[in-house]
Amino acid sequence: MEILIACAVGLIAGAHTATWGMYKDAVHEGFELRKYLRSILISGAIAPACVLLGFPLAGAGSLVVLFGVTYVIERAASEFYKTFIREEDQSKYFIPMQFAVRGRVVKSRRSRLLVGAGAAAAAAALLLGVIALQTAVGPEPGIVILLIAGSLGGWFSAVGGAWKDAPIEGFETLKFFRSPVLSALATVLISLFTRNLALAALAGLGFTIATLETYKTFGFPSKPRGKFAGKPLAYPEMLERRRWFVPLYGGIWILIATAFVMGMMGT
């Protein structure tokens, strides 16, 4: 039963990711069912894998944590693949999606993989650092520790985003500090459901990504994603068709809010 519940959480997390991604990209790339289902299926496998590896399911609050952890793992894997592994024509983008230096794509796949290995090692070191921090402070980390641990993933995301976007769009101070601040605050909220510092930090970053993408996608629906800035709408019919998915997206947020409230009530 726990595996089935975890599968459901993973599929919901994947549908959330797939929907905002489709909503922003479909007007430029068209709608592909295979592409839409990719995040759903990957997340549907990640969540039960987490449970099999020991993630504790105990009430609605743990489902909130699992959603956030699944979300960030899927996003990290997807971005790693697109940045360092995938070979794709970058001419359709305003901002390159493959690893680039000062806006110029690194053509050598070997070089990209070496940099990717370094980035993965840095991410692993941050996670191990959070685990070591909990060992040092004990099972009940205070709010300062939660804020510090929670901000680390946000800093990692902010540096990566600035490396990619700043050479093209310029450096934006508020944008740079947004992820660390939000991930720190989200980690404090998630700590209501788990005292595991690493899980709280991962889930906090997952919810930060989900919240920011919701804000950027549906707060400014007419503004193209940075990677497509200035590019024509190749599939203008998707401006109308993509709205069919809005009820699904809103329903997922309602489920998350319901689980959060139930978790607060101890159910």
Helix axes 109-137, 143-169, angle to 10 degrees: 160
Q: What is the pLDDT along the chain (267 residues), one digit of tens a residue?
A: 899 999 999 999 999 999 999 999 999 999 999 999 999 999 999 999 999 999 999 899 999 999 999 999 999 999 999 999 999 888 888 888 999 998 899 999 999 999 999 999 999 999 999 999 999 999 899 999 999 999 999 999 999 999 998 888 889 898 899 999 999 999 999 999 999 999 999 999 999 999 999 999 998 877 777 788 778 888 999 999 999 999 999 999 999 999 999 999 987
Using an 8 Å Cβ cutoff, are 30 and 169 in contact?
no
Question: b vs e for 154-168, b when ≥16 Cβ sit within 10 Å of the residue's Cβ?
Answer: bbbbbebbeebbbbb
Bridge pairing between strands 104-105 and 100-101: antiparallel
Query: CB neighbours of 108 closer than 8 A, spacing ≥ 6?
Result: none
Which pTM value belongs to this model?
0.95
- pLDDT digit string (tens) for 195-244? 999 999 999 999 999 999 999 999 887 777 778 877 888 899 999 999 99
Taking CA atoms, 249 is separated from 34, 40, 237, in Å, by 19, 13, 20
Question: Percent of the chain, pLDDT > 90?
Answer: 81
Using an 8 Å Cβ cutoff, are 164 and 100 in contact?
yes
Helix axes 173-190, 143-169, angle to 10 degrees: 150
Dmax (CA) for the chain in angstroms is: 56
Taking CA atoms, 92 is separated from 131, 140, 204, 229, 232, in Å, by 41, 49, 33, 10, 10
Domain definitions of the chain by residue range: 2-264
Tell me if residue 54 falls in helix, strand or coil: coil
Using an 8 Å Cβ cutoff, are 95 and 226 in contact?
yes
* Residue position matching structure tokens 């947004």: 178
DSSP conformational letter for 101: E
Three-state SS sequence of 114-132: HHHHHHHHHHHHHHHHHHH
Using an 8 Å Cβ cutoff, are 73 and 46 in contact?
yes
Q: Is the dihedral of CA 243, 248, 250, 253 positive or negative?
A: negative
